[in-house]
Amino acid sequence: MKAGTGLFSALAVFLLLGAVLTQTPRQKKPTRRPGLTRRPSVPKPAEPALPEPQEPTDFPPVILGPPSMYIYCPRECSCSPSYPNALNCENRNIRNIPVIPPQTQYLYLQNNYISEVTAEPFINATEIRWINLANNRIHRIDKNVFEKVPALLYLYVQRNSLKEVPAGLPASLEQLRLGRNRISKIPAGSFRHMGNLTLLDLYHNQLSDSGMGKNTFKDLKGLVQLNLAHNILKKMPAGVPSSLIQLFLDKNRIDDVPKDYFDGFTHLAFVRLNYNQLSDKGLPKTVFNITSLLDLQLSHNQLASVPLFNGHLEHLHLDHNSIESINGTQICPYSLEADPSDHSDHSMGPRLRYLRLDGNHLSPPIPLDVIMCFRHLHSIVI
């Protein structure tokens, strides 16, 4: 009986122990909220690679116009029925000159991005009279270009990057505008056989005395206007033709005018020498006693006295110098005691109408002898 009871107790203990060992442990409550599960990203299809740029990125695209009624008209230009001899290619962002139609006489290519002018586009353009290439990036003009345009009259190439006057210029040329380039040299013979040229504009370049020879302007027998302002000249240009009417030399470094420089100039009417380094020492008293002279500008120099001038002068600019006094008797071209019955130019008195003296060491009133001499004065600034 005791053995049966012991066996039963052992069996109960064994079953209780198995229940404990097989019991699943209770999971602990998580302390943090599990992160959200992200959906896997779907790869986007690869975009096609952009083509490599063929031209500098600072150049905007060429502007093409609609098809013209004229089959010969380039798409980057326009051809107007009202002006059948004109080819308008300005403001089109052009880099290369298109082929010029044969009947073209007026060619407008200003305000583009042209860097070089070659002969190929002009092969059949023998009738051209006018070419405007202003405000481009031109650094070279092929001399053979001008062989294709033997009747060219006007050539405008201002605001570019030329370093020399182009070679091979046609003898027919009447106006040549090369202002605002980087020209530092005029090669010998550049203006050979150019007796028809009336206007030469070399304003705002880098020309020095050594960049021009004494015969540079020798062949320009018909020249009327010469503009060499805003360069780095220290001397008056040599060999300037006596046919000149207008001579502009503002903003250079000129400190001397030879006494006989203007001898033989019978048509010279306008002389501008503003913003130079002229003083009394470098300016002979009678150098501007030129019969034909109408307008003389000597502003912003270092003059201490008024230079003598001819009675025909009408405008005189002497502002911003170092003038301390003005004597009407000394500078009056004619005698103040002229005979009233004399009807010559002398009796009429000097023709000076405008006199500017501000920016000097002068103060009002205007000396009486100045008023007595220059009776035609309409304006005097002091």
Check whether 10 has a pLDDT greater than 70.
Answer: no
- The model's pLDDT over 33-45, given as tens digits with 9 standing for 90+, comes to 555 556 656 666 6
DSSP-assigned letters across all residues of 164-206:
BPPSS--TT--EEE--SS---B--TTTTTT-TT--EEE--SS-
- Its pTM stands at 0.82
Beta bridge partners of 296: 271, 316
Q: What is the average pLDDT value for the chain, to the nearest integer? A: 87
Which DSSP symbol is given to 78? Answer: B
What is the tens place of the pLDDT at every residue in 309-367? 999 999 999 999 999 999 999 999 987 655 544 545 555 789 999 999 999 999 888 88
Q: What is the pLDDT, as a whole number, of residue 100? A: 96
Spell out where the chain has E strands: 86-88, 106-108, 116-117, 130-132, 140-141, 154-156, 175-177, 199-201, 225-227, 246-248, 270-272, 295-297, 315-317, 354-356, 379-381
Stretch 239-243: mean pLDDT = 96
The owner of tokens 């004619």 is 334
Mean pLDDT computed over 69-78: 85
Q: Indicate the SS3 state at residue 18.
A: helix
Q: Spell out a b/e string for 131-167, using b for 16 or more CB atoms within 10 Å of the CB, else e.
A: bbbbbbebeebbeebbebbeebbbbbbbbbebebbbe
CA distance 380 to 382: 6
**Would you tell me how many other CB atoms lie within 10 Å of the CB of residue 56?**
8
For 108, the token pair is: 């407008």
Q: What is the mean pLDDT of residues 227-251?
A: 97
Which whole number is the average pLDDT over 131-138? 98
Nearest to 224 by CA among 188, 195, 184: 195
- Residue 168 pLDDT: 94
In this prediction, residue 13 carries a pLDDT of 46
- The pair of structure tokens assigned to 299 is 């502003």
Helix, strand, or coil (residue 13)? helix
> Average pLDDT of 276-286?
95
Q: Do residues 90 and 108 make contact, with C-beta atoms less than 8 angstroms apart?
A: yes
Average pLDDT over residues 87-95: 96
**Whether 265 contacts 290, CB under 8 Å:** yes
Stretch 224-237: mean pLDDT, rounded?
98
Torsion of CA 118, 120, 125, 126, to 10 degrees: 80
Q: pLDDT tier at 302 (50, 70, 90 boundaries)?
A: very high
State the burial class of residue 196 (Cβ atoms within 10 Å of its Cβ: 0-12, 13-18, 19+): middle
- pLDDT tens by residue, 198-216: 999 999 999 999 999 999 9
- For residue 58, the one-letter residue type is D
Mean pLDDT value of segment 124-140:
97
> Which pair of structure tokens corresponds to residue 263?
């001898």
pLDDT of residue 57: 55
56-60, 122-126, 132-136, 257-261: least confident range:
56-60
Burial grade of 124 (CB within 10 A; 0-12, 13-18, 19 or more): middle
Upstream peptide bond of 25 is cis (omega within 30 degrees of 0): no
Rounded Cα gap, residues 327 and 325, in angstroms? 7
Q: What is the pLDDT of residue 31?
A: 54
User: Is 2's pLDDT higher than 50?
Assistant: no
Mean pLDDT of 208-227: 96
Task: Give the pLDDT band of residue 62 (cuts 50, 70, 90).
Answer: confident
Q: Distance between CA 381 and CA 64 in Å, rounded?
A: 54
| Cα–Cα dist 141/168, whole Å | 10
pLDDT digits (tens, 9 = 90+) for 105-114: 999 999 999 9
Amino acid at 91: N
The CA angle 272-186-213, to the nearest 5 degrees, is 80
Cα 33–Cα 38–Cα 44 angle in degrees, nearest 5: 165
DSSP code for 211? G
